[in-house]
Each structure stands twice: as C-alpha cells, then as structure tokens.
Amino acid sequence: MTSTHVESSNSVLDDRIEDELARLRTTFRSGVTRSIDWRIAQIDGLIRFAKDHTNTLIEAMAADLGRPPIEGWTADISTSISGAEHMKSKVRKWAKPRRKKLPLVSQPASAKVMPEPLGLSLIIAPWNYPVNLVLEPLVAAFAAGNVVAVKPSEVSPHTTGVIVRELPKYVDDRALAIFEGDAAMSTALLKQRFDHIFFTGSTHVGRIVMRAAAEHLTPVVLELGGKSPVIVANDADISVAANRIAWGKTFNAGQTCIAPDYVLVTEERRDELIDAITNAWGVFFGEKIVASPDFGRIVNRHHHQRLTELINGAQGNVAAGGDHDIDDLYVSPTIIVDPPLDSPIMTDEIFGPVLPIITVANVSEAIDFVNDRPKPLALYVFTSSSDTIDAVLNQTSSGGVCVNHTLLHFVPPDLPFGGVGPSGMGRYHGKAGFDAFSNMKGVLAKPVRGENNLAYPPYTDAKQKLIRTVT
C-alpha cells in the first residue's frame, strides 16, 4: 500500500486536489465504507499506527516542539489509542438504527433514527498536538463510515512527515488522502465541496473556514480557542491549586488550546497563590528552568516574538520569570500581575507559558469578568464549596469546565469536547465524535394495508372534527 498525499505545486494544485477528492468520492459511492467490519478495520489500523510508531512520533514531536517525551506520550499517543479503542468497542452499537416511539396520530407505523456517513470529510489539524488532533477526528470519521481528506500542519514538519509516510499503510488508502502544504494548500482545499469539515485552530482561521464552508452549506465542527479563565475562590487549597495551574500552564510550554490563560483571584489570596505557582515551577523544572529536560520550547521564532511582545506590552508587574531566548525558542514560565485589561495579553489568546493574574473582589466579580468576555473553550474553578461550583457552572458558559484541576476534561474518551460561540462549535470524543461525522436520518415506515382516508380531502366537517380530536 502506497502513501497517498499531495504536495502544493501552484500551477496544478487545484486539478490535483480535485482528482484526489474525486477518487475519494468514488470510494464512498462504492459502499465499502458502510460496512461496520470495514470501519473497525480502519480503527484497528490507526491504533497499530500509533503503537508501531510511538517512538518515531515522540522523536518527531520533540524535533518540532521541543516537547519532553512523556508529554508526547500522554497528550498525543496514549489519548489517541485510548480514544480509538473506546470507539472500536462502541461503534457497532452506535451505528445501529435507534428506534423511536410514535404518537397515536402516526400509528400504525414504525420509526427509527438511522446514522449514515456524511460522505467526504476534511480534517484540518494544528501543530500543537500534531498526532492526537489528526488521529482522534480521523477515528471518528472512519467509525462513522466516511472517506477523509487530511491536512496536517506544516508548522510541525517532522511529525507531518511521519504521518504522510506511514499512516496510509495502516488503513484502506482508497478512503484517505493526505495533503501536505502551507496556508495555500488549506485555501485551495477550502474552495472544494466537502460533506463535512473538522477544523482545529485559531478563532481567526476558524472564521475563514466557516466562510468557505458556507459557500457549499457544508456542516462544520470548529475546535478553536480563546482565553480560558481560572477562578480561584478564597476557600481553595492554594497549594493544590498552584500545582495544577502551574502544570496546566506549562504543559507543552503553554501551547494548548485549553491551557489556563489567566487567573482571577482576590487580593487576600493573590500573593500566596503567586508564590505557590512560582515554587511549583521551581519544583517541576529546577532552579535553572532553561536547562530542564522537562520544559518544552516555543514552536518557532514567529510565535516566540509574539509572546515576548505580549510580555513587553503588558505593563503589569512581572512577578516571576520574564526571561526569553529566541535562538533557543525559550520563554520562561512568567507571571504578570494586573496588566491593563485592554492590553494584548488580556485580549489575545496567549498560547504560551505566560500567566496574567487579575485581582477581583470575590467570586461574583470573577463570574462577571468571565461573562463580559467571549465564551471560552475551557473554564477552571478551584474551591472547596459546592455552592461556588454550582454558581460558576450555572452562571457562566464555556465549552467545558474542570473543577479543581486543569486540562483533564479533555482526556475521558466519552466526555464530549468542544467550544461555544467564538471558542468553537460542535463536539467530538466518543459518541459525540461518531455523531458529528454522521447524518442522523429519521425514517418512518407505514404498512401498506389498512389505508385510512381520514387525512385526505375532501375535508368534511366530520373529518375536520375527528382530525382535531385525534391530533
């Protein structure tokens, strides 16, 4: 089985893309992808790919991102495998028609919801988790019976190279095309008609994807980002909160869409929290963080410069860190206290190991602070009070919430994950992913015998009275 991929060469790009997509549509129309055994075989192949190439993929992610090997394993490899194994164990059940009850007026009849594949799906993946964010949606797409075009990120070229070379060997390559290239390739792909688009990336690019999808009325799942807040209540265990915030903020050097973006805390607990987070980073990475093998690097010089400009423009008190080295792509874990709320660090997604801490009077003010801003992808709250938890859950809106920890709500394979408003739309993981790549077709079947002329004209007074009574 040979690798199927298209590289961007400007003059013939559109024609080559069209040829590849036509090939995929031919495969879909053949009906081969509707077989549940075929779907399970593809999921098995993706699991074997992740297992067989674990070390190669981890090394590639280290080359692309400077990521510690254990982070590559936990965030990209193990989560992809567990999600695929969960999907494999459930796909027969989820693909079955789902019987529905009918009201008296519809009787005699039967009804069901019939999940069917949407057809040709496009997956555009980002660079920050370049394995997981290809494999997880790909598992869902194959489980639902689709053929798939995948566009991995050019910003993580070593990892993309492994995917391009090896992945097609593990699945039915009649149903997969991998498109290498930069933004020009994505632009060219988005001009084409798909039956579904799954995009993970920034809100800015998400708008571009949605505009392109609207041209063909293509349904989308947009996994975006934004500024995910942390609310630390006065009754929180500061030591525990600090460890978990410090870990969530520096995992993958903060280049995580659900990383804690900023913290809301009262003046009463603020300095204690700052000291505890700073101490946690010291325990995690040692006195000389730049030398730690466990602290990652920024993906490239562009993003490094973007982060240093955020730090320099914050005008807040740098309470910890602030060091950076563009040649090493290093930005130290940094805390900035009360930067101006209209500064870029408080209006733009940070996507790096820089943590603003904002002083608020109480949890109620923190909730108002969150609600005054675009709905986030994730929200974190640290408290020992069930009333505070309920208040935050009921009075805010976010894609997901993690109580007394960070990041972990992404991990469970059957907990739906996604955004809301500017942080995205649609859900995946487990059944939510299967459903996202499926058309839930409603089917009603009536028997031929027992024809009832009540519903047909002419509508006599007697008929109308009976219809009104029955309905």
Q: Which tokens in the block code for residue 331?
A: 């930005």
Q: What is the DSSP letter of 325?
A: E
Listing DSSP states for 386-424 in one string gives HHHHHHHHHH---SEEEESSSSGGG--TTS-B---GGGE
Q: Give the whole-angstrom CA distance, residue 345 versus residue 366.
A: 18
Domains of the chain: 5-224+424-443 (3.40.605.10), 229-410 (3.40.309.10)
Entry pTM: 0.94
Q: Give the whole-angstrom CA distance, residue 145 versus residue 416.
A: 20
Are the CB atoms for 8 and 188 separated by under 8 Å?
A: yes
Q: How many C-beta atoms surround the C-beta of residue 68 within 10 A?
A: 20
Which residue shows structure tokens 């460890």?
243
Active-site residue list: 223, 257
Q: What is the pLDDT along the chain (471 residues), one digit of tens a residue?
A: 344 555 545 667 888 999 999 999 999 999 999 999 999 999 999 999 999 999 999 999 999 999 999 999 999 999 999 999 999 999 999 999 999 999 988 888 999 999 999 999 999 999 999 999 999 999 999 999 999 999 999 999 999 999 999 999 999 999 999 999 999 999 999 999 999 999 999 999 999 999 999 999 999 999 999 999 999 999 999 999 999 999 999 999 999 999 999 999 999 999 999 999 999 999 999 999 999 999 999 999 999 999 999 998 888 789 999 999 999 999 999 999 999 999 999 999 999 999 999 999 999 999 999 999 999 999 999 999 999 999 999 999 999 999 999 999 999 999 999 999 999 999 999 999 999 999 999 999 999 887 878 888 999 998 889 888 887
Nearest to 178 by CA among 166, 187, 192: 166
Which residue shows structure tokens 């693909």?
95
> Cα 227–232–237 angle (5° rounding)?
140
Tell me the three-class secondary structure of 65-99, residue by residue.
HCCCHHHHHHHHHHHHHHHHHHHHHHHHHHHCCEE
